[in-house]
Structure 1
Amino acid sequence: MAIDPRELRRCLGHFTTGVTVITCQGADGVPHGATVNAFTAVSLEPPLVLVSLDRRSKLCSLVEQSPFTVNVLESEQKDLALHFAGKPNQDVEWLPDSECGAPRLGGALAHVSCTPWQHYDGGDHVLYLGEVQDFVMHDGKPLLFHTGKFHHLGGDHDPLLWGDSADGPSGQAWIQQPAAG
């Protein structure tokens, strides 16, 4: 059976993700970025994350040799996501570079700054592993992406606390309701 790429993309879009902008310095010294929702944690020791970049993108060739930052977008940063998805719409607030030399975006929920560790062929994408050199977190809610649209957590969102994972020291996963009061 032949897989229709458009229908596969539509199906995979049912998996809700966060929204990130991957940033790095270009050879010209100008910061570059691209909106990416294919980002995941890989390892704590060594500290590794993975981003998947379209091999046709300018950023793809830059990340291979340059430190980069994964900027996790906050729920109100939809316009910033669109800006770095090829629809320029605003002036960008650039923060001072991270300790490893990767540019960061203002207002992000988190910054994970990395140096290139390894890359792999991923068909029409390249999978980049970055070794985490620095990270910063801020309070807020994430911008989400589902079925081709941006979303955010509603005010009625009642989070469950994740106690441990199967990969954790206890070897079992469990979910605990938050304590009342």
Structure 2
Amino acid sequence: MSAGERSLRDCLGQFASGVTVVTTRQGEEGGAHGATVSSFTSVSLRPPLIMVSLDRRSRLSTLLAGRPFGVNVLAADQSDLALSFAGRGDLARDTVEWQGGGPAPRLAGTVAHFSCAPWASYDGGDHLLFVGEVLSFDAPGGEPLVVHGGAFRALRNTAALGSGRR
């Protein structure tokens, strides 16, 4: 990575983001595969569309083409899952807890989950942009895992800060 690319990445890292694990199945009856992704966004409510951006060199980007996928919004206490699915943790994959069935694998204990059918994919330079139509979703709630400046962070309740403004 060049110095300019590193500087741009550091600057982009100043935007706080939620942390997700995007999942799909490997083949028709294959096992679950997923990767940690922080570039996730809503696209449309009518029709209900979301988008994830994946490094085109990643295994997930080749598996996701034309397949259903899930977006699992991680809870604050799931940083071990985030690191594991980013290939940097020591959590054994066979200890990962999955929840129920559906077209794409779903992680247990997340604050939200979206089950998607493939809608479109686009060239995004060194990334591929996958748009999915939301087939179902669930938001059990809780504190989300957040990343800022390359580190996991805790949210802070700032409601009291707004009470003194005029």
TM-score above 0.5, yes or no: yes
Q: Which structure's residues are more often helix, by fraction?
A: 2
Q: 2:115 maps to which residue?
A: 113
CA 1:48–1:159: 2 relative to 1, 3 Å: farther
Q: 2:151 maps to which residue?
A: 149
2:96 to 92, 107, 117: 92
Seq. identity, %: 52
**Equivalents in 1 of 2:145, 2:69: separation in Å?**
20
- The Cα offsets for residues 136-174 of structure 1, whole Å up to 9 and x where unpaired, read as 1112011000000011213xx1349xxxxxxxxxxxxxx
Q: RMSD of the TM alignment (CA)? A: 1.8
**Equivalents in 2 of 1:39, 1:113: separation in Å?**
14
Count of paired positions: 157
SS of 2:129's partner is strand
Runs of at least 5 residues in structure 1 that lack an aligned partner in the other structure: 161-175
- The Cα offsets for residues 18-73 of structure 1, whole Å up to 9 and x where unpaired, read as 00000000116110000000000000000000000000111001111211000000
Q: 2:18 maps to which residue?
A: 18
Runs of at least 5 residues in structure 2 that lack an aligned partner in the other structure: none
- TM-score, normalized by length of structure 1? 0.82
- The Cα offsets for residues 91-144 of structure 1, whole Å up to 9 and x where unpaired, read as 11111222xx11100111100010110000000000000000000111201100
Structure 1 outlier segments of 4+, above 3 Å: none
> RCO greater where, 1 or 2, for CA within 8 Å and sep 6 or more?
2
**Equivalents in 2 of 1:109, 1:44: separation in Å?**
20
Alignment of 1:9-88 (within 5 A): 9-27=9-27, 29-87=30-88, 88=90
2:126 to 124, 127, 145: 124
Larger Cα Rg: Structure 1 or Structure 2?
1
